[in-house]
Amino acid sequence: MSSAKSPPTKPGYHTTSYIVTDFDGAHVCTSKTPFYSAARALLKQGHDPLAVLYMHTDASPNWSLRAPLGRAAKLTVQENAAHGPRVVPYDGERLALLKSNRENPNGN
């Protein structure tokens, strides 16, 4: 299966994008939420939703997150001024709308 490698996180807003590769070094995705984004990318590639995804940091060979692809793909990390990072349900349609609004603030 694949693994998402990321450096240890720092306090405050998470602004770093991480490159996710599989065990062969092939690029899976680049994301600020590597574990959950990798799960969605791997499902799109046709991987089994019951396959288990593991993530570890460069600092340790031990996994730091683990979940079936199908379950992880339904989640993401949300962070704002009122709350630190927390795992929440993934809403792809809402995120696409927010991205569209950022790219076209006047609706053009």
31 three-state secondary structure: strand
Q: Using CA atoms, how far apart are residues 30 and 37, in angstroms rounded to an integer? A: 8
Give the pTM: 0.72
Per-residue model confidence (pLDDT) at position 17: 87
Q: Other CB atoms closer than 10 Å to residue 42's CB: what's the count?
A: 24
Per-residue model confidence (pLDDT) at position 5: 53
Per-residue model confidence (pLDDT) at position 3: 55
CA 73 vs CA 9, 23, 61: distances in Å: 21, 19, 23
Helix residue spans in 18-91 (DSSP H)? 34-44, 69-72
Ordered per-residue pLDDT tens for the chain, 108 residues = 555 555 554 455 567 888 888 888 899 999 988 999 999 999 999 999 999 999 887 788 888 899 999 999 999 998 887 888 899 999 888 777 777 777 776 665
Q: Using CA atoms, how far apart are residues 87 and 75, in angstroms rounded to an integer? A: 7
